[in-house]
Amino acid sequence: MNSINNIYQYNSKKVFKILIALFILLFVSYISIFKGIADINLKRVLVTIFKNLSFNNTEPLSPREIVVFLDLRLARVVLVSVAGFLLAICGTVMQAITENKMSSPFTTGISSAASMGAALSILFFTGKYVYFDLITIFFAFSFGIICSFLVYGISNVKGMNKSTLILTGIAFNYLFSSGNAALQFIANEDVLSSIVNWTFGNLSGVSWNKILILFLILFIFFPYFFINRYSYNLLLTGEDSATSLGVNVKKFRFISGIIITLITSAVVSFIGIIAFVGIIAPHISRMLIGDDHKYSIILSGIIGAFLVVFSDYIGRNLLSPIIIPIGIVISFVGIPIFIYLIINSKRG
Please tell me the predicted confidence (pLDDT) of residue 211.
Answer: 93
Q: Give the CATH number for residue 244.
A: 1.10.3470.10
The Cα–Cα gap between 336 and 334 comes to 6
Helix and strand numbers (H, E) in the chain are 15, 0
Domain that holds residue 84: 17-347
User: Above 70 in pLDDT, residue 127?
Assistant: no
**Residue 5 included in any domain:** no
| Span 131-183, pLDDT tens digits | 667 888 899 999 999 998 898 888 877 766 778 888 888 999 999 999 999 98
pLDDT tier for residue 128 given thresholds of 50, 70 and 90: low
Q: How far is CA 219 from CA 81, 183, 226, in A?
A: 15, 36, 11
The Cα–Cα gap between 249 and 267 comes to 27
Please tell me the predicted confidence (pLDDT) of residue 107.
Answer: 87
| Span 256-294, pLDDT tens digits | 999 999 999 999 888 888 888 999 999 899 888 988 899
**Residue 6 included in any domain:** no
Query: Which is more confidently placed, 290 or 298?
Result: 298
Please tell me the predicted confidence (pLDDT) of residue 198.
Answer: 82
User: Above 80 in pLDDT, residue 342?
Assistant: no
**Residue 27 included in any domain:** yes
Count how many residues are written for the chain. Answer: 348
**Residue 10 included in any domain:** no
What number is the average pLDDT over the span 247-256? 88
| Span 169-198, pLDDT tens digits | 899 999 999 999 998 888 888 888 888 888
**Residue 8 included in any domain:** no
Helix axes 277-289, 75-98, angle to 10 degrees: 70
Q: Are 126 and 266 in contact (CB under 8 A)?
A: no
Q: Are 253 and 158 in contact (CB under 8 A)?
A: no
The Cα–Cα gap between 205 and 172 comes to 28
* DSSP letter (8 states) at residue 322: B
User: Above 70 in pLDDT, residue 243?
Assistant: yes
Q: Cα-flanking dihedrals φ and ψ of residue 322, to 5°?
A: -75, 130
Cα torsion 275, 276, 282, 285: sign: negative
Q: How far is CA 207 from CA 73, 123, 210, 215, 322, in A?
A: 11, 24, 6, 13, 21
**Total domains in the fold of the chain:** 1
Q: How far is CA 303 from CA 82, 234, 281, in A?
A: 11, 24, 6
User: Which amino acid makes up residue 198?
Assistant: W
Q: Are 32 and 77 in contact (CB under 8 A)?
A: yes
Helix axes 110-125, 249-271, angle to 10 degrees: 40
**Residue 1 included in any domain:** no
Q: What is the mean pLDDT of the chain?
A: 86
**Residue 272 included in any domain:** yes
Q: What is the DSSP string of 65-118?
A: HHHIIIIIIIHHHHHHHHHHHHHHHHHHHHHHHHT-TT--TTTTSHHHHHHHHH
**Residue 281 included in any domain:** yes
Write down the pTM of the prediction: 0.90
pLDDT tier for residue 348 given thresholds of 50, 70 and 90: very low
User: Above 60 in pLDDT, residue 346?
Assistant: no
User: Above 50 in pLDDT, residue 103?
Assistant: yes
| Span 215-239, pLDDT tens digits | 999 999 999 999 999 999 999 888 8
Q: Are 257 and 108 in contact (CB under 8 A)?
A: yes
